[in-house]
Amino acid sequence: MDTVEDKQMNPVELVVPDEVQRIIEKHQGKRGDLIAILEDIQARYRYLPEEALKIIAKNTEHSIVDMYAVATFFERFSLKPQGRHIVSVCLGTACHVRGGPDIASRFERKLEISPGETTPDLQYTLKAVNCLGACAMGPIVVADGHYFSSVRMDAVDEIVAQTRDGLDQVHVGTDQRIFPLEVRCLHCNHSLMDSGFPIDGYPSIKLTTSFKNKHGWVRLSSLYGSYSIVSEYEIPPDTVRNFFCPHCHAEIIGAGSCAECGAPMVPMNVRGGGIVQVCSRRACKGHLLDLASNPVD
Ligand code: FES
């Protein structure tokens, strides 16, 4: 584990034991608790600090060895401090032939780090990844979960600047970061797409939902970065909903919690590999796209 000697250049947040303990208590004893605990620790500190792992080992039945095994198996965990912004450049075959290596070099020069490294001020981590599942639109860059397709050399500075300023404001129809996804149920693997009910000009994602004794359909925009939603019943903001597959009727709920509000996340398998997760709380913009992960079984 890397240590941090220069606190000014490497402002790593100190681990607060009470905070770690609260995360442990939130998940302890539940199915998949170790991954859920580590996900919350990762979301809180942007990596898995050794001190936090020791607290988990002391207060649960999970050993440090268990935790290192999980942390090294899943791409989404890091044992080193990560930047506030994560920029991944695809160097898979299709992106490679479309100029991915030149784009990666441009990011390296701009950020003055190599892939796998983090800037000294902990603002940016640069990653080189293999195939993000959007080969026809390469070269692909994903910054803080937002897609940029057909990236040109002269777009690199702009992507870095936009990432620093925040990528939450998106404009459907003109924003290159908005990206259509095709998703499947993580239980039965049936497609959840509904081409007969387009939202934002693309097939919507059809689910069933329940809240406060109401049970009905809901359709979500399939554009990652759009929060458009149409539902059978009006759903008040802040309502935490349960989601179900309309085909196998199993509840769709993940082990992790939303980094924004703490509500359960709703994971769906992305066609081509990976997982997209959206927050179960109405109007919360917590979402997560991890195309490096294996689909949930
Ligand atoms: S090779 Fe880059 S998205 Fe597939």
pLDDT in tens, 37-88: 998 898 889 899 999 999 999 999 999 999 999 998 887 788 999 998 989 8
- Model confidence over 125-158: pLDDT tens digits? 999 988 776 777 789 888 887 778 889 999 999 9
**Does 126 sit in the ligand 1 pocket, CB within 6 Å?**
no
**Does 156 sit in the ligand 1 pocket, CB within 6 Å?**
no
Cα(241)–Cα(247) distance, rounded to whole angstroms? 18
Report the nearest atom of ligand 1 relative to the CA of 93: 1
DSSP 86-99: EEEEE-SHHHHHTT
Half-sphere exposure of 295 (CA within 13 A, CB side): 15
Report the nearest atom of ligand 1 relative to the CA of 134: 3
pLDDT at 165 over 80: no
pLDDT at 272 over 80: no
pLDDT at 276 over 90: no
How far does the centroid of ligand 1 lie from the alpha carbon of residue 162, in Å?
22
Cα(41)–Cα(45) distance, rounded to whole angstroms? 6
- Model confidence over 186-219: pLDDT tens digits? 999 999 999 888 887 788 999 999 988 889 999 9
Confidence of residue 99 (pLDDT cuts 50, 70, 90): very high
How far does the centroid of ligand 1 lie from the alpha carbon of residue 63, in Å?
37
How far does the centroid of ligand 1 lie from the alpha carbon of residue 86, in Å?
18
Residue 266: predicted pLDDT: 92
| Lowest-pLDDT choice from 118-122, 189-193, 213-217, 241-245 | 213-217
Cβ neighbours of residue 132 under 8 Å, at least 6 residues apart? Answer: 88, 90, 92, 95, 140, 142, 147, 274, 291, 292
Comparing 197 with 258, which gets the higher pLDDT?
A: 197
Please name the helix (run of DSSP H) or strand (run of DSSP E) that holds residue 287, with its range, or none: strand 287-290
Q: Could you tell me the CA-to-CA distances from 38 to 3, 17, 70, 225 in Å, in that order?
A: 20, 14, 9, 25
CB atoms within 10 A of CB 108: 17
**Does 137 sit in the ligand 1 pocket, CB within 6 Å?**
no
**Does 131 sit in the ligand 1 pocket, CB within 6 Å?**
yes
Domains and CATH numbers, the chain: 85-165 (3.40.30.10), 180-290 (no CATH)
Q: Give the amino acid at 66.
A: D
| Structure-token pair, residue 227 | 């929060």
Report the nearest atom of ligand 1 relative to the CA of 94: 1
Report the nearest atom of ligand 1 relative to the CA of 138: 2
Cβ neighbours of residue 105 under 8 Å, at least 6 residues apart? Answer: none
What does the buried/exposed string (b/e) look like for 221-251 if buried means 16 or more CB atoms within 10 Å of the residue's CB?
A: bbbbbbeebebeeebeeebebebbbebeeee
